[in-house]
């Protein structure tokens, strides 16, 4: 039995018109495709459409008509651009390099990537400041988390505050912020909150002040997490987009590692060690506040604002030759126009990150102390987890655009479930045994091996951080880790049935992928993919 194509792969094997695809969708056929709106145009029709576009959107004095028409022809031809006689040698080389030579991108593009990487480092560092501080700040504020259930709730409330604020405010305000200030303005806004809130946390006098500072941190984290991956995707070439968006996950992992390193470096500073641990996250916020204004604004955001000249100037900075900028400007325009014409309802789906990884980030030091590890050992093991989380995220930079997002998730989730379950059962080992801490550490590290290249350190979970803490008396460490192991099994099934593949598609093409009805995708997985997998065994 031949391997069934993913729906997103079948897309490119269909040669249907725009009217055909609407018929197919209404009949819920499986032969769905992403249409190139330029495919069915003759050369004369294409030139006429380009001339009208240039005149309508104020580009007459901005871009040469012949260049724009040539760019439209390249967009129409796809990978067969070599057949266009008018292309110069430099243009041919640039078009070839964008698919084969990752590092031949202009400097403005790399400034954009640097900004998104620093923003991700800040996100990871913000998450880990409380990890080591959890061992000291409750005592500094006269909280007894060993015997008082109310004080345990306060500890959980303070730790969950950033994600509570993210879900209630940070993510919600990101939309109006993006609309009025752009991607760069929103990132700057979030960096201000991340900078000021951690400095404030270091000077708090009671847990209420710390709670409010961490709520402010959550506003910055939420708006940043909702914007930075989008900004990276919108400024990246389609062929390498997955790798560059993956840089968010990779550098969040690196930020987690740096945060654990800072925790370890200052934990012995008497009385103020926990304050330094919380405040150290200001470090990556400073270069982000400065560098974001050197990066170009998203051209897609400019198009959304109907500012086509500005979009073209951004593309000139992000592409190697003007032809690429002209091609992308026109292709973005026609894809968005097609989407607007046929859009009747919006369907969006976003994976929300992983509760269990954030639990390790927030509470790993506390978990290892519960396992009878000294404070220094607990912080060292947490530091090692942060290092493993970063190192094992590196392979995904390549694999995310070759194996694909869906495959990585399906391969790694079973391992995540098993390692968490094993770590939980290790708490049943007698406390006097030397193997107890070693095995717990081993399975937590092994969890990072599966987690980092798959689900990745995506900080889009909000309310789950306080959950295992508030139920610790009932479930214990084994129950909490077992719960998350079970959630991984559930997530595996949901990914298999609900998540389509999106590798190497433009952002505009993804609209058609997500327009496929969910029940159609589920039926395909059950009736086509499962029988194929069964016959392969």
The DSSP string of 157-169 is: HHHHHHHHHIIII
Residues with Cβ < 8 Å from 410, sequence gap 6 or more? 492, 495, 496
Confidence band, pLDDT 50/70/90 cuts, at residue 195: very high
Q: Is 82 or 197 the better-scoring residue by pLDDT?
A: 197
**Alpha carbon distance 281, 167 (integer Å):** 21
pLDDT at 64: 92
pLDDT at 92: 86
pLDDT at 317: 94
The CA-atom distances, in angstroms, between 417 and each of 12, 65, 422, 481 are 35, 57, 9, 9
pTM for the complete prediction?
A: 0.67
454-509: pLDDT as tens digits: 665 333 322 222 233 233 333 444 444 455 556 666 666 766 776 666 555 655 55
pLDDT at 400: 56
**CA proximity to 424, closest of 464, 467, 481:** 481
Residue 528: DSSP 8-state: I
Q: Would you state the structure tokens that stand for residue 436, as one six-digit string? A: 């107890």
Of the listed ranges 100-109, 118-127, 363-372, 382-391, the least confidently predicted one is 363-372
262-293: pLDDT as tens digits: 888 887 787 888 899 999 999 999 999 999 99
Confidence band, pLDDT 50/70/90 cuts, at residue 149: confident
**Alpha carbon distance 137, 158 (integer Å):** 11
Confidence band, pLDDT 50/70/90 cuts, at residue 25: very low
216-246: pLDDT as tens digits: 999 999 999 888 888 888 888 766 666 676 6
**In a 3-state reduction of DSSP, which class is residue 87?**
coil
**Alpha carbon distance 104, 53 (integer Å):** 30
**Alpha carbon distance 51, 533 (integer Å):** 51
Has residue 344 got a pLDDT over 50? no
Q: Name the one residue in this structure whose structure tokens are 């460490």.
A: 477
Q: Is 317 or 94 the better-scoring residue by pLDDT?
A: 317
Q: Are 444 and 364 in contact (CB under 8 A)?
A: yes
Task: Identify the burial level of 430 via C-beta atoms within 10 angstroms of its C-beta, where 0-12 means exposed, 13-18 middle and 19 or more buried.
Answer: exposed
Q: Are 485 and 417 in contact (CB under 8 A)?
A: yes
pLDDT at 447: 81
Q: What is the mean pLDDT of residues 146-174?
A: 87
Q: Name the one residue in this structure whose structure tokens are 């947490």.
A: 382
* Fold annotation for 107-319+350-498: Growth Hormone; Chain: A; (1.20.1250)
Has residue 211 got a pLDDT over 60? yes
**Chain-wide mean pLDDT for the chain?**
75
Confidence band, pLDDT 50/70/90 cuts, at residue 19: very low
**In a 3-state reduction of DSSP, which class is residue 460?**
coil
Q: What is the mean pLDDT of residues 320-331?
A: 92
Task: Identify the burial level of 344 via C-beta atoms within 10 angstroms of its C-beta, where 0-12 means exposed, 13-18 middle and 19 or more buried.
Answer: exposed
Confidence band, pLDDT 50/70/90 cuts, at residue 339: low
Rg (CA), the chain: 25
300-314: pLDDT as tens digits: 899 989 999 999 999
Task: Identify the burial level of 374 via C-beta atoms within 10 angstroms of its C-beta, where 0-12 means exposed, 13-18 middle and 19 or more buried.
Answer: exposed
pLDDT at 242: 65
Residue 321: DSSP 8-state: S
| Percent of the chain with pLDDT strictly greater than 90 | 25
pLDDT at 367: 54
Q: b/e map of 184-219 (b: 16 or more CB within 10 Å)?
A: bbbbbbbbebbbbbbebbbebeebeebbbbbbbbbb
Q: Is 524 or 121 the better-scoring residue by pLDDT?
A: 121
pLDDT at 295: 94
Domain ranges in the chain? 1-104+320-349, 107-319+350-498
**Alpha carbon distance 393, 178 (integer Å):** 29
**CA proximity to 9, closest of 45, 33, 39:** 33
């Amino acid at each position: 039995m031949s391997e069934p194509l993913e729906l997103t792969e079948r897309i490119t094997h269909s040669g249907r018109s725009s009217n055909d695809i609407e018929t197919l969708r209404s009949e819920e056929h499986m032969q769905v495709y992403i249409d190139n709106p330029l495919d069915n145009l003759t050369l004369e029709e294409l030139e006429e459409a380009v001339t009208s576009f240039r005149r309508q959107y104020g580009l007459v004095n901005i871009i040469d008509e012949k260049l724009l028409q040539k760019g439209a022809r390249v967009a129409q031809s796809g990978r067969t651009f070599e057949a266009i006689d008018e292309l110069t040698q430099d243009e041919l080389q640039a078009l070839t390099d964008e698919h084969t030579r990752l590092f031949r991108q202009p400097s403005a593009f790399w400034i954009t990537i640097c900004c998104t990487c620093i923003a991700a480092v800040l996100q990871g560092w913000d998450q880990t400041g409380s990890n080591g501080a959890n061992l000291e700040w409750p005592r500094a504020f006269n909280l007894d988390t060993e015997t008082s259930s109310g004080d345990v709730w306060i500890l959980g409330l303070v730790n969950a505050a950033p994600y509570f604020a993210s879900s209630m405010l940070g993510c919600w305000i990101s939309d109006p912020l993006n609309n009025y200030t752009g991607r760069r303005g929103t990132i700057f806004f979030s960096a201000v909150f991340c900078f000021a809130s951690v400095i404030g946390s270091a000077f708090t006098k009671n847990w209420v002040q710390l709670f409010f500072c961490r709520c402010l941190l959550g506003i910055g984290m939420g708006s940043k997490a909702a914007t930075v991956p989008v900004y990276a995707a919108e400024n990246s070439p389609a062929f390498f987009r997955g790798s560059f968006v993956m840089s968010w996950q990779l550098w969040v992992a690196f930020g987690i590692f740096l945060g654990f390193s800072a925790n370890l470096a200052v934990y012995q500073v008497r009385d103020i060690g926990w304050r330094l641990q919380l405040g150290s996250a200001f470090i990556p916020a400073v270069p982000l506040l400065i560098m974001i204004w050197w990066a170009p604004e998203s051209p897609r955001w400019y198009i959304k604002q109907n500012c086509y000249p500005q979009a073209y100037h951004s593309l000139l900075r992000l592409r190697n030759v003007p032809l690429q900028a002209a091609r992308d400007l026109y292709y973005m325009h026609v894809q968005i126009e097609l989407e607007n014409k046929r859009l009747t309802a919006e369907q969006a789906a976003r994976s929300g990150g992983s509760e269990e990884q954030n639990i390790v980030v927030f509470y790993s030091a506390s978990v290892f102390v519960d396992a009878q590890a000294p404070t220094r050992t607990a912080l060292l093991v947490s530091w090692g987890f942060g290092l493993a989380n970063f190192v094992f995220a590196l392979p995904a930079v390549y694999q995310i655009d070759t194996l694909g997002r869906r495959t990585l998730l399906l391969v790694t989730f079973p391992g995540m479930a098993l390692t968490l379950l094993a770590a939980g059962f290790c708490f049943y080992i007698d406390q006097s045994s030397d193997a107890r801490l070693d095995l717990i550490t081993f399975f937590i590290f092994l969890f990072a091996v599966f987690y980092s290249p798959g689900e990745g350190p995506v900080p889009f979970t909000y309310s789950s951080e306080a959950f295992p803490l508030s139920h610790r008396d009932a479930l214990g460490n084994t129950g909490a880790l077992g719960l998350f192991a079970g959630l991984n099994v559930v997530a595996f099934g949901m990914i298999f049935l609900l998540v389509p593949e999106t590798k190497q598609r433009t952002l505009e093409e993804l609209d058609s992928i997500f327009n496929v009805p969910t029940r159609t995708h589920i039926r395909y997985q059950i009736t086509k993919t499962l029988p194929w997998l069964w016959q392969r065994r």
